[in-house]
Amino acid sequence: MATTATPTKVWGPKVDGGGVTYQFTLVLDTTTAGGLMTIDLTDYFGYVYDVDLGGSLAANFYYVEVQKPAAGTALTSTNLALGFSEAGADGAVLDLMNATDMSAAITGLTITVRGKAAIASSWA
């Protein structure tokens, strides 16, 4: 059971004065016990400034939240993550999706990420 989302580049880099921007589609896997799934973008970014969630093909009304490193904190393979929750049958607001396979529940999810390019980035 993996707890990572696999990114595939859609476009980028778009270079501006403050960094680079890429867009990725994500293939989701299984969340951790805390409802998280990490995304490794260290081949593209040294630091992440902004992450915008895009649409998905089938979201089934799940709530997805981006958790990114604080400003000035270098990106690692585990400090950029998505948190997953839903309004469960118990009526509680936003239950964490604990160790849940999200691969079929949310498909085609996209993220657009802006940040400082990785030093070893090939701009590919």
Give 64-112 pLDDT, tens digit per residue.
Answer: 999 999 989 999 999 999 999 887 666 667 888 899 999 988 888 999 9
**pLDDT of 123 strictly over 60:** no
pLDDT at 32: 94
pLDDT at 89: 65
pLDDT at 101: 93
Give the Å distances, CA to CA, from 102 to 15, 75, 96: 32, 24, 12
- SS3 for 38? strand
With respect to residue 96, please indicate whether it lies within any of the assigned structural domains. yes
Could you tell me the residue range of the domain that residue 86 belongs to? 4-117
With respect to residue 54, please indicate whether it lies within any of the assigned structural domains. yes
- Helix spans in the chain (H): none
Domain count, the chain: 1
With respect to residue 8, please indicate whether it lies within any of the assigned structural domains. yes
Closest by alpha carbon to 20, among 57, 98, 85, 75? 75
d(Cα 100, Cα 1) in Å, to the nearest integer?
10
What global pTM score does this model have?
0.88
With respect to residue 41, please indicate whether it lies within any of the assigned structural domains. yes
pLDDT at 18: 81
With respect to residue 122, please indicate whether it lies within any of the assigned structural domains. no
Closest by alpha carbon to 6, among 96, 111, 76? 111
pLDDT tens digits for 13-28? 999 888 999 999 999 9
pLDDT at 76: 96
* Burial letters 46-80, b for 16+ CB under 10 A, else e: ebbeebeeeebeeeeebebebebbeeeeebeeebb
pLDDT at 14: 96
With respect to residue 50, please indicate whether it lies within any of the assigned structural domains. yes
